[in-house]
Amino acid sequence: MRLKKLGIIGGTGFNGFESLPLKDESWQTTPYGETSATIDTLEYAGRSFYFLARHGRPHQIPPHKVNYRANVFAFKEMGVEAIIAINAVGAISKTLKTPQMVVPHQIIDLTHGREHTYSDGSGLVELQHVDFTFPYDQEIRQNIISCAQHLNHEVETNAVYACTQGPRLESAAEIDYLETIGAHIVGMTAMPEAALARELKLPYVNLCLVVNPAAGRSEKIIEMPDIKAAFEQGMVEVRATLQAFIKNYCEAD
Q: Note the residues at the interface with ligand HPA (CB under 6 A).
A: 88-90, 164, 169-170, 186-188, 211-212, 214
Name the minimum Å distance from CB 233 to ligand HPA: 14
Based on CB atoms, which residue is closest to ligand HPA, 30 or 164?
164
Amino acid, res. 176:
D
According to DSSP, the residues that pair with 84 across neighbouring strands are 8, 205
Those residues whose C-beta lies under 8 Å from the C-beta of residue 172, and which sit 6 or more positions away, are: 215, 216
Instruction: Say if strands 82-91 and 204-213 run parallel, antiparallel, or are unpaired.
Output: parallel
**Which residue is closest to ligand HPA by CB?**
90
| CA 123 centroid distance within chain | 28
Based on CB atoms, which residue is closest to ligand HPA, 135 or 203?
135
Name the minimum Å distance from CB 167 to ligand HPA: 9
Based on CB atoms, which residue is closest to ligand HPA, 10 or 90?
90
3 and 249 Cβ atoms separated by less than 8 Å = yes
Please give the Cα distance from 194 to 33 (Å, whole number): 19
Based on CB atoms, which residue is closest to ligand HPA, 117 or 218?
218
Name the minimum Å distance from CB 127 to ligand HPA: 32
Name the minimum Å distance from CB 183 to ligand HPA: 11
